Structure 1
Amino acid sequence: MTAFARREAQGEWGTLTCELRSVNHRYLDLSLRLPEDLRAMEGALRERLQARLGRGKIDCGLRYAPPASGAASLTVDHSLVQGLLEACEQIEGLMGASAQFNALEVLRWPGVVREPARDLAPLHAAALRLAEETIGEFVRNRQGEGERLAALLRQRAEAVGVLVVRVRGRRQDLIAALRDKFRARLAELGVEAPDPGRLEQELALVAQRLDVDEELDRLDSHLTELESVLGRQEPIGRRLDFLMQEFNREANTLGSKSADIETTQAAVELKVLIEQMREQDQNIE
């Protein structure tokens, strides 16, 4: 389910920004982007995301900007610099030539410039609090999107129900049309009308082959189940996937048994509506 949330927090430790965004995905796929100072909290952040989210490709990013005063606390290891200079003099004596170097090259040497040890615990605690707030906002946004998708599914389901009623109402008309068709065909062939009982028997056999009451009943049952699933307070995406497969199976059978153009058209309309519902349920967790 697509959603987005962004939060920012400031303190004596600096500025933190957390962003969450998601796109449709069959499973839960987490992608985290953290600065070096927050790398140690990746596991805790991943656990919080997994506890609140069940589906979607989730992109979580944390950005950190230290306080402006932090750059003034750099120190230089003078004893290390002195040792480097003495080593350079020794190399010059061995090479018999003057080695060219400058202060920047000395500063690049590991350990020459040192930052004071920092207590990152307050920063990590603040980052986790901010992440939890962002996740909460993200979940609320997804719930709002889910409610809109549920409304769309209910609209399609209502249209499916109308088609089921229409096809069921065609059953008696279809039998009457078949009876008239048989009689007209017999008249064309110049065959004397058979025993009425035999004609009804043949009609019953044809009607049995074309009977779609079972498929219509199952469609009604699936509509009831769909409404029940939409009312659950839990992830329902995979259950909806399975339910759409069942809807589609009944629509295919209905189309294969159709004996008139109106039922065939209804079966096609059913498939269109079911496909629209299936596309929407891919966005639901």
Structure 2
Amino acid sequence: MVQSMTGYGRGQWEEEDFTFQIEIKTVNHRYGEVALRLPRFLNPLENRLRRKILAQISRGHIDVFITSGYTGAEGRQVKIDKGLAKAYHDSLKELAHLLGSPGESFSQELLFIAGCPDVLLPEEGAVDLERLWPGIAQATDEALAHLLEMRRTEGRQLAADLEKRIAVIEGQLETIEGRAPETVQEYRQKLEWQLRQLLQEAGSGPLDESRVIQETAIYADRVNVTEEIVRLHSHLRQFRQLLREEAPVGRRMDFLVQEMNREANTIASKAGDAPIIQTIVDMKSEIEKVREQIQNIQ
């Protein structure tokens, strides 16, 4: 069954020092495009994550959000700006001398300097990403599983709607098939009547039946839409088959819809019959609705 390109999935994993939460959201897009937003220390894993995701999602714009929390000391470091700390210390001594105040205790001065801007700077230290990768991969798989299930659910709904629209188009095509022979017969009758009128007005002899047959045959050949009808039936059968496939089919469906439109336009231009043209107008409206729906199919 076809898949939608719209979906959302969430996964999480935690261990002694880290917790990770991964959210994946997809919307329709012509190609497979991944946008990753992750903590800076996970940047070396970006390509690995991208490959893992694209192995299961071939089309759609994919937003991946990874947030992490630290529950241990790994990956945490604090850098001391020694020069700045000494400058604060010297300034405190100068201020005490200027005010004639006795010096503060060492612990109070230490606490004050530690609280000054940019003296203590937290930094991300070295993290063993190979140790973390299995857990991150597990959370990613969990998010992908939820995402794909949502895409399959919506895909089933899209397939049901498209089945109904294809049935409508088939009914319209059968109407055209039934009407097409009638147009030739109506043309022959109209041609005979016009010729008889002309012959009566001119006082000429009887109607030349062979000439009527010849003109009717020329007309029938010109308005013959059998090939277009056969091809359109073929496109509809192929479309139905694609609805049942598991592999990505959106692009092939898009091609078939273009071909359906082409055949419908040709029938309208060749038929020259008001009822057939009106049926084609209705058919093209349904084909356009199909085209809109398949834009969200992988």
Relative to structure 1, is the Cα distance of residues 115 and 252 closer, same or farther in structure 2, using a 3 angstrom cutoff?
closer
CA RMSD of the aligned region, Å?
Answer: 3.2
Whether 1:240 and 2:236 are equivalent positions in the alignment is: no
Aligned 8 A contact 1:23 1:57 in 2: yes
Which of these residues, 175, 185, 192, is aligned with residue 183 of structure 1?
192
2:235 corresponds to: 222
1:199 corresponds to: 212
Whether 1:103 and 2:104 are equivalent positions in the alignment is: no
Whether 1:166 and 2:175 are equivalent positions in the alignment is: yes
2:287 corresponds to: 274
Q: Relative to structure 2, which stretch is displaced further, 167-176 or 250-259?
A: 167-176
After TM superposition, the score normalised by the length of structure 2 is: 0.80
SS in 2 for 1:124: helix
SS in 2 for 1:65: strand
Aligned 8 A contact 1:215 1:253 in 2: yes
Measured against aligned partners, the alpha-carbon deviations of 1:227-250 in whole angstroms (never above 9, x if no partner) come to 222222211111111111111110
1:47 corresponds to: 51
Give the superposition deviation at 1:49: 0.9
Return the alpha-carbon distance in structure 2 between the equivalents of residues 267 and 76 of structure 1: 74
After TM superposition, the score normalised by the length of structure 1 is: 0.84
Measured against aligned partners, the alpha-carbon deviations of 1:81-115 in whole angstroms (never above 9, x if no partner) come to 4895289859x99xxx9xxxx72586625x87677
What is the percentage of aligned positions where both structures have the same residue? Answer: 33
SS in 1 for 2:55: helix
The size of the alignment, in residue pairs, is: 276
Return the alpha-carbon distance in structure 1 between the equivalents of residues 39 and 180 of structure 2: 68
1:1-285 equivalences under 5 Å are: 1-67=5-71, 81=82, 85=86, 103=113, 108-109=118-119, 118-189=127-198, 190=201, 194-285=207-298
Per chain length, whose mean CA-contact separation is higher, i.e. which structure has more relative contact order (CA < 8 Å, sep 6+)?
2
Measured against aligned partners, the alpha-carbon deviations of 1:168-216 in whole angstroms (never above 9, x if no partner) come to 1112321221122113323444355521122111111011100001100
**Which amino acid is the alignment partner of residue 194 of structure 1?**
L
**Which amino acid is the alignment partner of residue 85 of structure 1?**
K
SS in 2 for 1:280: helix
Return the alpha-carbon distance in structure 2 between the equivalents of residues 166 and 112 of structure 1: 78
